[in-house]
Structure 1
């Protein structure tokens, strides 16, 4: 899956040309190729919750999770943290991943009342709550 929210700075400010002969330039092996594979083959299969999708009731999940920017970013962060925990030498790394990362994100992701996928229409016609409103900062005098 191509990142629907690419980091434009990576293209604008490349730090150097990759050199496959340099061990630091070789991408580390990962269990999952990308966040879509992580969510489809692991996360959605391992997380077992009763979801309702009735507005404001219970837990909410949109099968089109990738359409919600916050959901995409949180699941991408969970995938990256998972990959780090898998290769960690610390035997408790995966336990910490579950308690610290997964549990905390699930409370937000699946919140059927105010979460980023709450009030999802079954027909897919609704695409999120939209970004938080922001006003410009006032100019400082002086």
Structure 2
């Protein structure tokens, strides 16, 4: 091995199958995990306008990219440990899309906040 070989960065690391969460959602998640919408399951075509949905979908995408490389049971474990928990929350009637329909986006309501009085956190 030459000195040049010793300082070369490792380039054999697996690359993500999908470059962005948007790619994963549009090319994998939505086509794969179909549900009858309305009632129990909700979806918003403008899913990217919902911070909680972005966070949950990004977590699902990252974990999916990792688990798909695990071999024999990787995706099975991903279903059990990640998707099966997140899907009912993400698409649920009280989840981040609860006010939306597939055809109409309604801006999510943010909870009201009050600033604590001075000195409140000083004990």
TM-score by length of 1: 0.69
The structure that is helix-richer by fraction is 2
Question: Which structure: larger Rg?
Answer: 2
| One of 43, 46, 68 as aligned partner of 2:29 | 43
1:93 to 65, 70, 74: 74
In the alignment, which of 30, 37, 43 is matched to residue 16 of structure 2? 30
Tell me what 1:75 maps to.
Answer: 57
Aligned mates of 2:17, 2:111 — CA distance in 1: 32
Alpha-carbon separation, structure 2, partners of 1:37 and 1:103: 21
Which 5+ residue runs of structure 2 have no aligned equivalent? 1-7
Q: Structure 1 120/86 Cα, relative in aligned 2: closer, same or farther at 3 Å?
A: same
Q: 1:77/1:132 Cα in 2 relative to 1: closer, same or farther (>3 Å)? A: farther
Q: Aligned-residue CA RMSD in angstroms?
A: 2.5
Q: In the TM superposition, what is the alpha-carbon distance from 1:42 to its structure 2 partner? A: 0.4
TM-score by length of 2: 0.79
Structure 1 position 117 matched with structure 2 position 97? yes
